[in-house]
Structure 1
Amino acid sequence: MLGPFGTRRGMLLYLLVWLLLGLVLAGLVAGVSGAAWPNALAFALPLTVLYAIAAGFSAMYLCRAYPLSGQFRPHVLLVFATTAGIAAAAWTGGALFWDTVLASGGYGVTVGPALRSMLFGLAVVLYGLCVLGHYLVIEFDRTRAAERRELESKLLAQDAELRLLRTQVDPHFLFNSLNSISALTSIDAARARQMTVQLSDFFRRTLGLDAQRKVAVREEARLAADFLAIEQVRFGTRLRSEMTIEDDAAACLLPPLILQPLVENAVKHGIGGLPEGGVIRVQARRDGTRLRVAVENDVDADAPARKGNTMGLANVRQRLANVYAHDAAVSWARENNTFRVELNLPAETVETAKTGD
């Protein structure tokens, strides 16, 4: 980390600041020595640029040798004070030499005792400002690096979470689907082939999802529909589904596979417990700046709530919290013979997401 010297833009900005200081120094020199402005500028600007480079690199290496995060040691102040004094003395000596060179060409400013004292004191102050500036840059870089590591950890956690969710796609779903395919091969080979294609397409879609990217509601709904189509082969007429995706909500974005555990729970804990079967309804609508997505299914009104269902909902809540913090919520309610889960999250589209970036 080289602070302002790390990039061309930083270097140019650093030199620009020092050139402005050189103009201020030229005004002081003209006032103290009574020299003309051209002479003062010829004297001050080269000296300032030279000191900017020398003091800048010196302060940078000392600041990294004695970081603020380390234990404070009194001798550190002595090191900086001594270095500042040496730099100021060298700059004052260089000013005397440069004035001699300029005087030979008729542009001298006559560096008297008052000007020498001013140059020395100013050099000490500027060196101290260099030290302060470098410490600020170091702490800024450290904070930015910590935020970057935190963001990378968060993205890795989201990716691991999505991978875990993929592995948690109910194994019984896969086993039962394969058993259904096996049974269909002897009585309806065409449906067996169709179910095989549906099953492979479903897993191909889920494996192609990226945890760091959001998907459109229409894509997530299509994936849920594929899942239900496969399960319908097993449940037959007992499983019915309804998809109601409003046009202004279809293009909105949401985390991938966020509906998967909800639809899976609806099948397992809802329709699976009803001998006569029931309906699973997936709805999505846009309410101003909010996106509302609901999954509703029929349940046995007399059966108690199952623990596994609550665990799946808690996982969905955690995923929303990881992506949206406190700007999203999931709620669920059971009324008579229906169980409804609703997601409330920001209504983002591809266009608004790019604008936000």
Structure 2
Amino acid sequence: MTLRRPFNGIAKLRHLLQVLAFTLVVATLQYAFMPDKPYGPPVVYSVLIGSITWALIDLGREFVPSAAETGWPQGWHGFALVAAGIVLGYVAGTWLADTLCVHYFRFYPAGAALSGADQRTSILITAIAGLVGCYYFYAINKSAYLQDKMAEARRQANDARLKLLETQLEPHMLFNTLANLRVLIGTDPARAQHMLDRMIGYLRATLAASRSTLHPLADEFARLQDYLELMAVRMGPRLAYALELPEALQNVPVPPLLLQPLVENAIRHGLEPQVQGGHITVRASTHSGPRGPLLAIDVTDTGVGLPATLPAPGPGRSFGLAQVRERLATLHGSQGTLELIATSAGGTSARVVFPLEHPASTA
């Protein structure tokens, strides 16, 4: 695969500074082996030959289709570019250095010329330094490409993992709802019909939204409202709820179905065991963290409260909590947390916290 990369002036400037540093190292080593000669001429020759060679090769490859893996021309084009850059860089750099050393810096008298041994040494140093420099830039370009591909693969793996977790959550919620619907069909057909209509509306609303790994927090709250309305058909006046979402947080991206398991947990383990039912509040807020602002979402119920010992994760036990924790870990690592808190009124609050991410610009 070949491509033409967009010109990156900052990267080219960084390459030039690296080349200049490398040429100074070469000049210093050359002087260290020949301390009887002045230090100035090796610096002039090394800097001019090195910088011109770099310009011919690094700027020249911008005009030739390059390999996606390395950013360098493939096949004979790449070898020809390097060879031509080294030869022309040596010729042009030597001529310019001769002019400066004789007429400007006056290191040599007019008409002076390098000996045959010095010329051979200069050609050898130029060839070796040119090949080393080209391999260095080739290697760092390939390394950067491989790092980008690894990061892309990790993102794709995380997206696939999140979609798998979401597909596990959908049947879990659906089976629980169908079980409740089965009971209502025998005891209250009218409410069963109403509940079935709500479930159809909920599934229709969630189908399109669940095709992405992230959606706005406002959509997540809208899906929560659909679910709570569905549960209100079954529980009647025993279920009351409030959704509190500040306008500034409505477009914050969050994973779909992140909060629904927590609301389901609050109903199943908090409100349903109480004869009088209770109230659920879902509230979004922000606060500062050690690495930046954090988004906190609290699902608070006025139910029976936390048991003395939480059940261990397993089939039919703490499924929703385990899935929420796993999704947070996949997206945010140790910065994504889920905490269960016993409230002073006797209920339970499930708090989800993760880094606040601003929505991507659509301009």
TM-score, normalised by the number of residues in structure 2? 0.62
Match of 2:264 in 1: 264
Question: Is the CA contact (8 Å cut-off) linking 1:298 and 1:339 kept in structure 2?
Answer: yes
Match of 1:328 in 2: 336
Q: CA deviation at 1:270?
A: 1.7
Structure 2 Cα separation of the partners of residues 212 and 224 of structure 1:
17
Structure 1 Cα separation of the partners of residues 132 and 138 of structure 2:
10
Structure 1 residue 233 corresponds to structure 2 residue 233 = yes
Name the CA shift for 1:122/1:311 in 2 (closer, same or farther; >3 Å): same
Structure 1 Cα separation of the partners of residues 129 and 236 of structure 2:
84
Count of residues in Structure 1 that have an aligned counterpart in Structure 2: 293
RMSD: 4.9
Match of 1:102 in 2: none
1:191-340 alignment, distance < 5 Å: 194-208=194-208, 209-216=210-217, 218-287=218-287, 289-300=293-304, 307=311, 310-335=318-343, 337-340=346-349
Structure 1 Cα separation of the partners of residues 166 and 114 of structure 2:
72
Q: Which one-letter code corresponds to 2:325 in the other structure? A: R
- Report percent identity of matched pairs: 21
Name the CA shift for 1:302/1:250 in 2 (closer, same or farther; >3 Å): closer
Q: Which one-letter code corresponds to 1:330 in the other structure? A: L
Q: CA deviation at 1:227?
A: 1.2
Q: CA deviation at 1:206?
A: 2.3
Deviations 1:102-121 (A, max 9, x none): xxxxxxx9997243542233
Structure 2 Cα separation of the partners of residues 160 and 199 of structure 1:
22
Q: CA deviation at 1:140?
A: 2.7
Structure 1 residue 122 corresponds to structure 2 residue 126 = yes
Deviations 1:67-106 (A, max 9, x none): xxxxxxxxxxxxxxxx9xxx79x959x96xxx9xxxxxxx
Q: Which runs of 5+ in 2 are unaligned?
A: 28-44, 71-78, 96-111
Structure 2 Cα separation of the partners of residues 150 and 292 of structure 1:
26
Match of 1:131 in 2: 135
Query: Secondary structure at the residue paired with 1:279?
Result: strand
Structure 1 residue 175 corresponds to structure 2 residue 176 = no
Q: CA deviation at 1:6?
A: 6.1
Query: Secondary structure at the residue paired with 1:212?
Result: coil
Query: Secondary structure at the residue paired with 2:349?
Result: strand
Structure 1 Cα separation of the partners of residues 165 and 185 of structure 2:
30
Q: CA deviation at 1:210?
A: 3.4
Question: Is the CA contact (8 Å cut-off) linking 2:169 and 2:320 kept in structure 1?
Answer: no
Query: Secondary structure at the residue paired with 2:170?
Result: helix
Structure 1 residue 344 corresponds to structure 2 residue 345 = no
Q: CA deviation at 1:150?
A: 1.8
Structure 1 residue 160 corresponds to structure 2 residue 183 = no
Match of 1:75 in 2: none
Q: CA deviation at 1:263?
A: 0.8
Q: CA deviation at 1:130?
A: 1.7
Question: Is the CA contact (8 Å cut-off) linking 2:215 and 2:253 kept in structure 1?
Answer: yes
Q: CA deviation at 1:257?
A: 0.8
Query: Secondary structure at the residue paired with 2:256?
Result: coil
Name the CA shift for 1:162/1:48 in 2 (closer, same or farther; >3 Å): same
Deviations 1:329-351 (A, max 9, x none): 2211234631111122334443x
Question: Is the CA contact (8 Å cut-off) linking 1:248 and 1:286 kept in structure 2?
Answer: no
Name the CA shift for 1:269/1:344 in 2 (closer, same or farther; >3 Å): same
Structure 2 Cα separation of the partners of residues 121 and 227 of structure 1:
74
Deviations 1:30-73 (A, max 9, x none): xxxxxxxxxx9xxx89x9599849xx9xxx99xx9xxxxxxxxx
Question: Is the CA contact (8 Å cut-off) linking 2:306 and 2:347 kept in structure 1?
Answer: no
Structure 2 Cα separation of the partners of residues 290 and 149 of structure 1:
27
Question: Is the CA contact (8 Å cut-off) linking 2:213 and 2:256 kept in structure 1?
Answer: no
1:2-81 alignment, distance < 5 Å: 7=5, 9=7, 52=57
Deviations 1:307-349 (A, max 9, x none): 2664432321221222222333221123463111112233444
Question: Is the CA contact (8 Å cut-off) linking 2:305 and 2:348 kept in structure 1?
Answer: no
Structure 2 Cα separation of the partners of residues 229 and 277 of structure 1:
15
Q: Which one-letter code corresponds to 1:256 in the other structure? A: P
Match of 1:34 in 2: none
Name the CA shift for 1:325/1:310 in 2 (closer, same or farther; >3 Å): same
Question: Is the CA contact (8 Å cut-off) linking 1:162 and 1:211 kept in structure 2?
Answer: no
Match of 1:35 in 2: none
Structure 2 Cα separation of the partners of residues 252 and 228 of structure 1:
22
Question: Is the CA contact (8 Å cut-off) linking 2:306 and 2:342 kept in structure 1?
Answer: no
